[in-house]
Structure 1
């Protein structure tokens, strides 16, 4: 698939999205990839990062293997 075909495929997918939240998220991702924009971390994201760092420092983590097994179990439901 060449660049023009990829762009058309992307445009077709975007035009089929009706969820405003998903469109905002997609736009944010595209802007993040641009050299012209700066990603601003929201307060919720800052809190999530802080919590994750705390959990890592305190050994409150799961191995990748355990996480994969949990995902398999969730998908069975």
Structure 2
């Protein structure tokens, strides 16, 4: 188990082993939240948009505007 100390400016340093395992780099965002039944803090790397590229591969979406109605129509191909 690793520990971090809260500084007088309310900041912590994430332990090196955890940073390495989560592949964290300076500027990365992380999420903190507590679990429902206890007070453990769970640390999770926040996803980046580029990590999600290809998530919708194979889906083709065509968007057309019907000018006279001012309505957008979305169709999946």
TM superposition score normalised by structure 2: 0.22
TM superposition score normalised by structure 1: 0.22
Task: Say which structure is richer in helix.
Answer: 1
Computing the radius of gyration from Cα coordinates, the structure with the larger value is: 2
